Each structure stands twice: as C-alpha cells, then as structure tokens.
Copies of this chain bind each other. A is one copy, B any other.
Amino acid sequence: MQAAKKVGKQTIKFTQPPCIISTHTVVGPKEGRGPLGKFFDYTIPDNLWGEQSFEKCEQKMLQEALEQALQKANLSPQQVDYLLAGDLLNQIICANYTARNLGIPFLGLYGACSTMAEALILGAMLIDGGYANYVLGGASSHYDTAERQYRYPTEQGVQRPPTAQWTVTGAGGFLLAHPSLAPAGPGLKVTFATLGRVIDMAIADVNNMGAAMAPAAVDTIIQHFKDTGRSPVDYQLIITGDLGSLGKTLCLNMLEKAGYDVEKIYTDCGVLIYDPSQDTHCGGSGCGCSAVVMAAYVFRRMQEGAYRRVLFAGTGALMSPTSVWQGETIPGIAHAVAIEFF
C-alpha cells in the first residue's frame, strides 16, 4: 500500500497545487552589485544595517523579508496559519527571534542550505493536507555570521582556498496559499516534491562543500525522474541551490553519466548570484542563496514566461564544526520541488 498522495518512492504529488502568492528578498551589498542585483527587492547599505552585530542584522533581514512578503499580499501575521523558517546559525536564532516578533505559530527547521526547499515542501504539504490556508516560509544567511561560526571571523582575513564558496548575505520570504485563496489568473504553483535522503561520499573538507553536496542533488533529481515518470525534457530549468561552480560541474557529469541530458537546462543558484569578477571562487552558498535566487530571480522569470516548469533541488551540507573536528565527513541532502506557472 502506498500513501494516497505519494508517487513512486520519495515523491509527493499535489493534485490541488498550493500557490506561491508573494515573495520578498533582502540582500547584502555584494549580492546587490552582482548579476542578479536588479531582481532583489532591497539591498542593505552595509553588512550591519544599523545593528550592533552581524547576527542582529541577519535577523532583521529575515524579518523584513517575511513582513514585506505578507504586506505584498495584504495579509497580517494573524491571518497566517504557520511560519516555517530556519537559518545556518546555531539554534537557528534568526528564525526564532523573527518568529517571536511576528507571533505566528512556528515550526523551526534545520536543513542547512536546503532549508528554503524544506520550508516550501512542508508548507505545501500543510496547505494541501487541509491544515492551513496560508503558510509563511523563509530562510537567511549572512557572510560575516556564517564565516565566524563555521570557519574564521572575517576580520581575520584568512585566505580562502579555490574550492570555497561565499556565504550569501540574504534573506528570502515567501507566502504560500491554498489555491482557492490565490489571485485569479495564472500563478506559481507547487506541483511535486521529492524528499531527499542524506548522502555522504566521505568528503571531509569544509572548504569543498559543493563536492560534498553534489551526490545528494544527483540522487534526489534522478529519484524525481523515476518517481514521476518525467525526464529533463519536461523542464525548462533545473536548478540546484547551491553547489557552486565545482559542485555544478560534478552534478552535471554525474547526471550525464546516469543518462540524463540536462546540460542546456541545468544551472545552480550559487553560480548565478555572483559574477566571476567578484572573487568568490566557487560562487555562493548559505540558506539565503537559493532563497533569494529562487524568490527574486527564478520566480520572476517564470512570471515573465521564460520558464513554465522548473525543478528546484535545494541542497544542504549537514556537518558542524564540532563534527568535522571529531573526524566526521560531510553528509549532504537535497530536496527537489517542481514549481510550475499556469
């Protein structure tokens, strides 16, 4: 026996697809100067944005993204059933303090850089399952908070190896609604979700997370095709978030080896967000990376007609500094979600 709304082994099919009715993004100055700068809703003037610490700045960014996403839909926090959010900081403090300030019933998530995908999928399940009309979701990261927690304080000026990615300073918020409450006409809909397993290919270098996460992305994307009977030709865009340039190449090679020709439609959020001249080495990473690239750029391009169907595979590296110091390798995860405009 198979659960009613599952197709194949790991995939959910939403027969009444929940709608993404609004989004909002707030990014740091470096991201604002990058190739997607004009798509973001707001660029903060510096990495503190008037706050006394980088952590407080990140929390303010996440709160602003969620409040503005609500405002764009003309809703108050009281009208939202649940808030699903997370970030990279220990004990997900940005999400917790934002939940305190908004007062919405809150479910805290930790999926590292896959958090935006996890929130989108769980939010869609809660609406489609009959538990909610509106779900607010969000994720954030901040270069200076992540570097000092995971590696070195940025003030120290440690040289970064060529495989490193640059943690995005950014927060993305989205509002999901039951289809009966969405504005009339075509819109962004969540149609399938493939939940990922944790895959660990024994990479132990915290400066090479793209390589650590790529196998998980491949595992989930292939499972999505198997479960749904779809193939690359069914999508105009397949986007991982965020493997960076090295991880993207690995992912592409592994997918091609497995017989999936995705070269022309595949890219990665971490590759899109910075220009090579911005000296980020392998590109962007962090919960905020796929959150802002999807919410600001990909969804906008879908609304403009560039893509009808997108497969977004949010990827996360699930180690901690403690686990790495204790000799553990880096486990990766990827959750895929099909978003369609109709």
Contact = CB atoms under 8 A, between A and B. Distances in A.
Interface string A38-56: 0000000000000011011
Tallying the copies of this chain within the complex gives 2
Given A130-B4, A322-B55, A108 B106 contact: no
A250 interface: no
A6 B82 CA distance: 12
A326 interface: yes
Contact of A93 (B6, B180, B318): B318
A99 interface: yes
Nearest to A112: B91
Interface string A1-22: 1111110001010000000000
Interface residues of A, number: 66
Interface in A55-111: 55-56, 81-82, 86, 88-93, 96-97, 99-100, 103-111
B320 A100 contact: no
Given A2-B133, A90-B322, A105-B195, 10 more contacts: A1-B181, A3-B178, A6-B130, A10-B105, A91-B110, A91-B112, A91-B323, A108-B110, A109-B110, A149-B322
Contact of A198 (B106, B111, B118): B106
Given A53-B326, A100-B200, A109-B109, A5 B129 contact: yes
Nearest to A2: B133
A18 to B, nearest CB: 12
B118 A125 contact: no
B197 A105 contact: yes
A203 interface: no
A323 B55 contact: yes
Ranked nearest first, the 10 interchain pairs of A and B with the lowest CB-CB distance are: A129-B129, A4-B130, A91-B320, A96-B318, A105-B195, A100-B198, A5-B130, A90-B90, A100-B331, A108-B110
B326 A55 contact: yes
A11 to B, nearest CB: 10
Contact of A129 (B97, B125, B319): B125
A222 interface: no
A269 interface: no
A35 interface: no
A144 interface: no
Nearest to A199: B100
Interface in A285-342: 318-323, 326, 328, 331, 333
